[in-house]
């Protein structure tokens, strides 16, 4: 499979993870109930789950996946290698909690997850975020199609925030339910970090 978009998204995130120090891990993140350590663990675990899905695992459960080399870059590289080596993008694979999906759908979902959580990560670090426009385009297209039953507490996505259909990062973030200026606050999500115009 062509992994250009996922490589771009993970490369952007890796540039931020390289900056994280032990003192940063307790910083709050825009993900409710997660600090930066939780967010980083989620990103790494998801990469390895999707690596397993693109590899030879027919079913990947919704559990934390341990890795021998605990870095974001190593987990992203494992995932990219697995997707790159996948012969049939229409193969049905089950990744919980998403259920049975085509491999190319799972690839798109992981691009979305990486783009959105990349913003969460940059925001937690107090840094501006400008992912590749092609990754944002895909994220917006996928997020516009997420049904209401997949949104809300305990689900893959937060409740969508209504914004004009501009097709930019602001729309992607709103469709992913990013709403607050700080954990527990009520400022508009734009206050969290600079986003690409």
pLDDT at 95 over 90: no
80 located within any domain: yes
Which tens digit of pLDDT belongs to each residue from 100-116? 889 999 999 999 999 99
Which residue's entry shows tokens 């996928």? 142
Query: Which tops the pLDDT comparison, 126 or 185?
Result: 126
197 located within any domain: no
Q: For 39-53, 55-69, 70-84, 96-110, which range has the lowest pLDDT when averaged over its residues?
A: 55-69
The predicted pLDDT at position 16 comes to 95
Look up the pTM and report it. 0.84
pLDDT at 187 over 50: no
pLDDT at 56 over 70: no
The predicted pLDDT at position 98 comes to 77
183 located within any domain: yes
Q: Tell me the pLDDT of the chain averaged across its residues.
A: 82
196 located within any domain: no
CATH code: domain of residue 69: 1.20.120
Give mean pLDDT, residues 30-57.
88
Give mean pLDDT, residues 128-138.
95
Query: Which tops the pLDDT comparison, 119 or 154?
Result: 119
CA distance 16 to 64: 22
The predicted pLDDT at position 11 comes to 97
Q: What is the DSSP letter of 95?
A: E
82 located within any domain: yes
30 located within any domain: yes
21 located within any domain: yes
Q: Which domain holds residue 88?
A: 4-191
Strands 92-95 and 99-102: antiparallel
pLDDT at 134 over 90: yes
If one counts the domains in the chain, the total is: 1
Q: In what order do the strands lie in the sheet with 92-95?
A: 59-60, 92-95, 99-102
**Cα separations in angstroms, 22 against 1, 17, 35, 125:** 36, 11, 12, 12
pLDDT band at 158 (very low <50, low <70, confident <90, very high): confident
Which residue's entry shows tokens 């690596």? 51
154 located within any domain: yes
């Amino acid at each position: 499979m062509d992994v250009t978009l996922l490589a771009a998204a993970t490369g952007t995130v890796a540039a931020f993870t390289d900056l994280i120090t032990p003192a940063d891990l307790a910083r709050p993140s825009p993900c409710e109930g997660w600090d930066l350590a939780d967010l980083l663990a989620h990103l790494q675990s998801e990469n390895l789950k999707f690596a397993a899905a693109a590899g030879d695992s027919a079913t990947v459960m919704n559990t934390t996946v341990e890795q021998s080399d605990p870095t974001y870059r190593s987990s992203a590289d494992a995932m990219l290698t697995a997707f790159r080596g996948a012969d049939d993008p229409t193969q049905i694979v089950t990744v919980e909690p998403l259920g049975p999906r085509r491999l190319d759908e799972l690839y798109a979902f992981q691009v979305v997850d990486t783009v959105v959580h990349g913003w969460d990560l940059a925001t937690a670090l107090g840094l501006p975020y400008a992912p590749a426009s092609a990754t944002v385009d895909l994220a917006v297209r996928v997020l516009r199609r997420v049904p209401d039953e997949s949104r809300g507490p305990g689900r893959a996505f937060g409740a969508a925030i209504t914004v004009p259909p501009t097709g930019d990062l602001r729309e992607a973030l709103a469709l992913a339910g990013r709403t607050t200026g700080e954990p527990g606050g009520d400022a508009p999500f734009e206050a969290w970090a600079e986003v690409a115009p």
